[in-house]
Amino acid sequence: MKAAVIEKQGGVEGLVYRDFPDPEVRPGDVLVNVKACGLNYFDIFVRRGMPGLPVKLPFISGGDIAGTVAAVGAEVRGFKVGDPILVDPMTDEGMVGEEVQGGMAELVRVQHQFVIPLDKRLSYERAACIPANFGTAIRMLHTNGQIQKDDLILVLGASGGVGTATVQVAKAHGARVIACAGSDDKCARLKDLGADHVVNYSAEDFSRKAWAISGKKGVDVCVNFTGGDTWVPSLRALKRYGKLLTCGATAGFDPKEDIRYIWQRELRVIGSNGYLKEDVTAGMLAVAEGKFQLPEIRTFGLSKLGEAENLMEARDFFGKIVLIPDWSGEQA
């Protein structure tokens, strides 16, 4: 098979599009013919290398996988060759594309219990936008964050895949949302997705703006998966007993800290890592039924993975980037 392989951790020059051995199908596995694979920031972390995230090279990243069944193991029931499917990447063996060889390839092997029949109302490209984005948002806001109706929720990095899903999941629960992005155009699109207020953080201090919107009481919840220099301003924006929810650190995982806000306001900092198959399935059905919108999808041929990752790192896009195997070129 062809695959975009991480030969060396570091820059995108370590990515090589080449032949790679087909996965070995074991009795409980489903072999997936990948039709689309969504790009996430954890793919950047895997390629760069990150403390606490060892990767045995050569390695293939990519966890948001949609495709068809290419083969099934001897013990698998309920799936047949050709069935359209979506993958829950949080498997018993580890996360697909982070700990287990992933979907930036023509074929990928997945334990059968983490394969979801794809709703036929969805294309493969649209389906590949769902697992990490809506699975993460549903688990973070509901299971871990336990958000309440009428909560005022501040969402940083709201223009990316997880961000746009977070805005919509929060609104569907009856929350009020302040969505932050780095341009007026992105802010306008977030308004279209249902955000009550938007903040262009390249032009305004998001923490001060959120404090003003809250009537100088502070927000109930801040969703921060950026880290870096946004961390302390996020704490400042919270009300007494407020919650800071985090599921990543795209701008840096070792930010400056100011714990005075945490003890003085009795804040709760809550981490969220991953999601369950039920979360992915719920997200898939909600998108298929039109309850949630998918933002703009930008597609790249798999051989252009380096270009796609450069675009993600530059934050010069809105929505989701999807890789398509066996297709060269780029489509806006």
Q: What is the pLDDT of residues 93-134, one digit of tens each?
A: 999 999 999 999 999 999 999 999 999 999 999 999 999 999
Mean model confidence pLDDT for the chain: 94
37 in the same domain as 95? yes
Choose among 180, 166, 113, 186: nearest CA to 283. 166
Q: What is the pLDDT of residues 87-104, one digit of tens each?
A: 999 999 999 999 999 999
Choose among 76, 78, 79, 66: nearest CA to 121. 66
The reported pLDDT for the residue numbered 54 is 82
The answer to whether position 281 is within a domain reads no
The reported pLDDT for the residue numbered 274 is 83
Q: What angle do CA 90, 92, 96 make, to 5 degrees?
A: 40
List helix spans (H) across the chain: 41-48, 124-127, 131-138, 161-172, 184-192, 206-213, 231-237, 260-264, 277-288, 305-314
The answer to whether position 227 is within a domain reads yes
The answer to whether position 69 is within a domain reads yes
pTM: 0.88
The domain tally of the chain equals: 2
DSSP summary character for residue 113:
G
Alpha-carbon gap, residue 322 to 85, rounded angstroms:
16
182 in the same domain as 267? yes
Write out the residue range of the structural domain in which residue 111 sits: 2-129+294-331
Choose among 45, 52, 51: nearest CA to 102. 45
The reported pLDDT for the residue numbered 119 is 98
Local structure of 185: helix, strand or coil: helix
CATH number at residue 181: 3.40.50.720
Q: What is the pLDDT of residues 270-322, one digit of tens each?
A: 999 889 999 999 999 999 999 999 988 999 999 999 999 999 998 878 889 99
141 in the same domain as 119? no
The answer to whether position 176 is within a domain reads yes
The reported pLDDT for the residue numbered 331 is 34
